[in-house]
Structure 1
């Protein structure tokens, strides 16, 4: 008989709701990203990878002025000891710390190809070398004197600092960019000397608000320079709340050439903009004919940035040309401010300028206290040792005898001279050659000096005011190191108000000026044809639709549309559809109510006067400039209530008005009887028993009245011949002269 197989007992199964499992894991991931990757610490302004790079370089003794070491060695050490992530990630972070166009105050001094402002990649890490800069040395100063706490590294084999002593206002001076999970940070670089001045004010007045600190911190200071064109209010608001953005423009100047020609030379471009991509974009826009004022662009940069922009012609306004470039390219860039940092290394928080500097100052004080306590312990130990040395010096023969004769000299020495264990150990570890040097005076002098130093340290530890005084001295030294007169400390970004330009002129600058023919169908479909097309017989229209009217314009023209609701609407010819197809309904471009319909469409030339009139026969004279609206909703000019509607608009050229009603009665009267207004109902032009106004025209009395019949033949009548139709405004009028068209229209539109 074979053995019967017994199935194993099933393991216990725990049911966990998916939501709970995901929440727990996602929260762990989010916290890890926020704390250990993407957000900088408010105290030293560094993310973990940067901190580990600097600490790794410190261990390799790569101080400023020492020999460079291969980047591969630095990356390998940092990866092996502190940062168990990709070597490329570590090298990329290190490269950014070395680029003087990415970091305002580089922390790494690089030798070799570390990339450039064009966006070219750096050389591989086996080819480049690096060491620390003075700024990095300031950040690390005091790390060997218990200035900061350490924690075990990822494998517990060694220790790494939780934060650096940070004797430089690195968070704001160098800025930071980072995207975590559910939050991001974006801090532009600032001027270190200005930050130190603000910090010194904050030491004097700890309750100072961010706004008060703007006396020193004017705004960001980018390594690539540029001009910040934000208002002071916007900058103040950004620094108070910790959120905002800065508009930064390229710095440019006009260079004169031969025979009145000129070019614009761009010498500084906005922060984080790649020069090669910027020039590609300008060339691309030129191909698309979106930069009609620009003739050519070329890069003449060597060490410094020099982008040369040639105008289409020497008559172009350089400021307007640059404005068109600022609007369409990265020559103007918006740089966000989001002061989201880790407070005390643990809490992510969006802070204002004052709180940011406050965190840094509090950290400097903590480091000062830790370093003072460390030094105090060192001095106390040394004083104890010196006390033992003095006893040994005064009783040298007896000490030698005990050491030579005793099996256990340490307890014998302690008993004979009442020494502590530390003192006895120090005497026993003393070299024979030191006996010659153990002079009483030397010991006493060192003892005295150390006691004086200890007194000073105790005074600092006992008084908060003394501590802040020391921190102030430290900040003052940094300020002097990076003052406005030093090459590195000199402010690079300046401030200016954005020049005010006529919006219409700027819009025009974006469109190449070309002749077009605007075609409107009977059903209100609109399109443009290239050039001034006289013969429109070959045009195709939708079924049941035909040509309404057409007129000549230019791509830079603005059109005015007058509708039956008494509103004028503005349209850009450049935004209208081209000649292919049937065009688009005019209502797509304006918010025209369903019950309203177009009355007339013409080119806005500006400065003319129009006579507008309603079906009920009321009207007034209006200036063309009062008819231009900026929104799609149009501008109400003639007030009409349904079923009354706007019926006609005609240009005022002359001194006499002729009006005809649907009842075929015509009236002629002087223009000065009609008022000029910007908006209103108007005055009665002609009186009707039934029906309403059909058409109205303004003409010059000397030249007489002209009209066209249905066959297009022109008729005219002098004022003498019009005697029986002459009257005053609001009369009824009489039947028109012989030959007047049945359509009851004068046949004169607006040019």
Structure 2
């Protein structure tokens, strides 16, 4: 450090300093930890693990070494992070229930599907698998670039040659700063066939590729129940999800009894936690059809589900379990990866396969050039050997008599410096006449190989033909046997099953009450006297909805979220009910603006304070999860204020500026989620009120009043998005 800088203080804006450091941290997380490389499908820690194990000569045919030795080499030479994180990464690469094609073969306790952890690294041993060997094949042939390690004492590969399609075959998950990745495992043979088709037809569509590779292939099996169009859209855009169900079968018993045997569970679901979840729901009496659950698993999964009564249908019982437990699970697809230029990018299936094939093409060119140079060097040596065979006595004389034999040999036999060095370094007994035949055979073979390599490098078609053959060999090698066989079935989505009767909910009229403080309860009957209902001290009535006990009730908040509750799950009795935030994870800063019984055929008009709105089908507002569903996307400072039934022909919008506009309802777009469209323009203020009405029947502005006719409203007619006209006095007086 310069003496002039000692004690120097430089003023910097805190915001600039924080921004600079946070961006550096974010980029480090994205590039070096969370996102895999599209070419070899590995994150840096996994790549360094495999490279370190290759350096330790832990090939599939060699012996095992302690995992502590491997982890020590990785963190000491390549990956300056904690040993626990590195060992966890090593363990996962060896778990056949976590990765579809394990890259590490483990010896010892490497955990289980029940969620048990692995033994300490000093007790376990490991070595590479054939899959990892395929990923590493070519490193010694200048197939990829190397870079200095963190301490500049060694070098490590930037990316592996990747003869195995690891990104899609084993998938990847990771959370970075502002982005994440989630890629499910697939079948390697199917990937190779799809890639081969892309070589033969570079303009192939995603649908054509999916004919060879129909979907994920999870290591734990299961059944994917997803619409084919949804699968196509997911692979086209790189974003989507796959609904996976457990594999089950009915096992008949004596006297007409039966049990259900679950043999495969969804990917990344812990079996022990799944059984605990089922047991908890049974205690809460939310699985009335299930009598008992047992775990009879050994090395294979065997969960036994006993029905409460042999009279119920197995399909109905399983539907209740799929709805409430992790026997049905969703795996997200977000193919966010580092592309060939190490830039984060969300790719579709075609883009991922194209990037991998381009990498394999580059590897082939580099390996061919490397081999060609080696062949030419060897041919040069062999030409030198052949040149001196007929003059061995002269060679010996020159070496014996000359002070500088090297230039003398080069002059006497027209040798290059490399050839002269090789002759001088050879033992005399190697220069026997008998070996000339062997050298000429080797020279002829190398001449043929050189010609083949030159032809390969000169022809793009030959290179892609070679890559196609490599893909066929990979598909054959890793597509046969228990490892390569497809494990996950792909089926059409099941038809909806009405579980009302199965869940033994008696249908009766109820009224759901919600207080100002957010307490919710259900009271039997309709037409209640609200004033006679009791609330906690300081609390009071907020809203109510009449429905049936078998209905679902939707709560819509000013944050644009929809939450769904089952009416049968709501507290009953004479108490004050239960806080609604116990039943649904409604944020503390959001208030409920609407509550209604879900009718799948009904439509709702959503509107914000700043005059944005859209129409949503009630079925699209349903969210079974506690976190709800974000339906209305809001700008900063905006909030939802109206969720009205969209039944009628026209919409009336009244703004804070006392201007109103009426336009046809069909000018409103129907969406599943979004920001909506402009309902009315405002110079200042926002939306004050909104009504949906039938033009012929007229508008009832005040309850009990006479409807306003079409003639009364004609002056306010306009188009959606107009600023509107001054509202009549009878309208603004009601709002005052």
Say whether the fold is shared (TM-score over 0.5). Answer: yes
Query: Which residue of 480, 484, 494 corresponds with 1:499?
Result: 494
Closer/same/farther in 2, CA of residues 46 and 393 from structure 1, 3 Å limit:
same
Query: Is 2:248 aligned against 1:247?
Result: no
Asked if 2 retains the 8 angstrom alpha-carbon contact of 1:541 and 1:582, the reply is no
Instruction: Quote the offset at 1:54 in angstroms.
Output: 0.7
Question: Could you tell me the TM-score, scaled by structure 2's length?
Answer: 0.71
Instruction: Give deviations 1:305-360, integer Å, cap 9, x for gaps.
Output: 11111111111221111111111111111100001111115111000101100011
Query: Which residue of 199, 202, 211 corresponds with 1:203?
Result: 199
Query: Which residue of 295, 298, 301 corresponds with 1:299?
Result: 295
CA–CA separation in structure 2 for the residues paired with 1:189 and 1:514: 44
Alignment partner, residue 410 of structure 2: 414
Instruction: Quote the offset at 1:392 in angstroms.
Output: 2.1
Query: Which residue of 483, 491, 513 corresponds with 1:488?
Result: 483
CA–CA separation in structure 2 for the residues paired with 1:588 and 1:384: 86
Q: Secondary structure at the match of 1:439?
A: helix
Instruction: Quote the offset at 1:408 in angstroms.
Output: 2.0
CA–CA separation in structure 1 for the residues paired with 2:577 and 2:168: 55
Instruction: Quote the offset at 1:590 in angstroms.
Output: 6.0
Q: Secondary structure at the match of 1:198?
A: helix
Instruction: Quote the offset at 1:255 in angstroms.
Output: 0.8
Instruction: Quote the offset at 1:457 in angstroms.
Output: 0.2
Query: Which residue of 151, 163, 183 corresponds with 1:155?
Result: 151
Q: Secondary structure at the match of 1:341?
A: strand
**Root mean square deviation of aligned Cα:** 3.3
CA–CA separation in structure 2 for the residues paired with 1:64 and 1:336: 33
CA–CA separation in structure 2 for the residues paired with 1:443 and 1:263: 74
Alignment partner, residue 375 of structure 2: 379
Instruction: Quote the offset at 1:51 in angstroms.
Output: 0.6
Query: Which residue of 567, 574, 583 corresponds with 2:568?
Result: 574
Instruction: Quote the offset at 1:217 in angstroms.
Output: 1.1
Larger radius of gyration: 1
Closer/same/farther in 2, CA of residues 635 and 578 from structure 1, 3 Å limit:
farther
Query: Is 2:224 aligned against 1:228?
Result: yes
CA–CA separation in structure 2 for the residues paired with 1:317 and 1:257: 15
CA–CA separation in structure 2 for the residues paired with 1:359 and 1:556: 55
1:667-686 equivalent positions in 2, closer than 5 A: none
Instruction: Quote the offset at 1:589 in angstroms.
Output: 9.9
Alignment partner, residue 422 of structure 2: 426
CA–CA separation in structure 2 for the residues paired with 1:136 and 1:492: 21
1:152-191 equivalent positions in 2, closer than 5 A: 152-191=148-187
Closer/same/farther in 2, CA of residues 45 and 573 from structure 1, 3 Å limit:
closer
- How many pairs does the alignment contain? 560
CA–CA separation in structure 1 for the residues paired with 2:103 and 2:213: 22
CA–CA separation in structure 2 for the residues paired with 1:72 and 1:438: 52
Asked if 1 retains the 8 angstrom alpha-carbon contact of 2:222 and 2:247, the reply is yes
CA–CA separation in structure 1 for the residues paired with 2:550 and 2:154: 74
CA–CA separation in structure 1 for the residues paired with 2:371 and 2:552: 81
Q: Specify every segment of 5 or more residues in structure 1 that has no aligned partner in the other structure, as ranges.
A: 1-7, 530-539, 544-554, 561-570, 593-629, 638-680, 682-751
Query: Is 2:429 aligned against 1:397?
Result: no
Instruction: Quote the offset at 1:481 in angstroms.
Output: 1.0
Closer/same/farther in 2, CA of residues 398 and 482 from structure 1, 3 Å limit:
same
Instruction: Quote the offset at 1:15 in angstroms.
Output: 2.0
Instruction: Quote the offset at 1:526 in angstroms.
Output: 7.9
Instruction: Give deviations 1:79-123, integer Å, cap 9, x for gaps.
Output: 111111111111111111111111101111111111110010011
Query: Is 2:99 aligned against 1:103?
Result: yes
Instruction: Give deviations 1:529-572, integer Å, cap 9, x for gaps.
Output: 9xxxxxxxxxx9759xxxxxxxxxxx976799xxxxxxxxxx97
Asked if 2 retains the 8 angstrom alpha-carbon contact of 1:393 and 1:438, the reply is no
Asked if 2 retains the 8 angstrom alpha-carbon contact of 1:516 and 1:528, the reply is no
Asked if 2 retains the 8 angstrom alpha-carbon contact of 1:591 and 1:633, the reply is no
Alignment partner, residue 108 of structure 2: 112
Closer/same/farther in 2, CA of residues 124 and 509 from structure 1, 3 Å limit:
same
Alignment partner, residue 322 of structure 1: 318
Asked if 2 retains the 8 angstrom alpha-carbon contact of 1:107 and 1:132, the reply is yes
Instruction: Give deviations 1:441-491, integer Å, cap 9, x for gaps.
Output: 1121111110100000000111111111111111111011123x4221111
Closer/same/farther in 2, CA of residues 515 and 497 from structure 1, 3 Å limit:
closer
Query: Is 2:347 aligned against 1:351?
Result: yes
CA–CA separation in structure 2 for the residues paired with 1:454 and 1:517: 87
| More moved, 460-469 vs 439-448 | 439-448
Asked if 2 retains the 8 angstrom alpha-carbon contact of 1:590 and 1:633, the reply is no
Alignment partner, residue 710 of structure 1: none
Alignment partner, residue 452 of structure 2: 456
Closer/same/farther in 2, CA of residues 78 and 460 from structure 1, 3 Å limit:
same
CA–CA separation in structure 1 for the residues paired with 2:247 and 2:113: 16
Alignment partner, residue 288 of structure 1: 284
CA–CA separation in structure 1 for the residues paired with 2:290 and 2:550: 20
CA–CA separation in structure 1 for the residues paired with 2:344 and 2:115: 32
CA–CA separation in structure 2 for the residues paired with 1:9 and 1:262: 82
Closer/same/farther in 2, CA of residues 558 and 134 from structure 1, 3 Å limit:
closer
Asked if 2 retains the 8 angstrom alpha-carbon contact of 1:242 and 1:339, the reply is yes
Asked if 2 retains the 8 angstrom alpha-carbon contact of 1:175 and 1:187, the reply is yes
Question: Could you tell me the TM-score, scaled by structure 1's length?
Answer: 0.70
Instruction: Give deviations 1:221-257, integer Å, cap 9, x for gaps.
Output: 0000000000000000000000000000000111111
Closer/same/farther in 2, CA of residues 575 and 24 from structure 1, 3 Å limit:
same
Closer/same/farther in 2, CA of residues 284 and 194 from structure 1, 3 Å limit:
same
Asked if 2 retains the 8 angstrom alpha-carbon contact of 1:269 and 1:331, the reply is yes
Query: Which residue of 3, 11, 14 corresponds with 2:10?
Result: 14
Closer/same/farther in 2, CA of residues 559 and 241 from structure 1, 3 Å limit:
closer
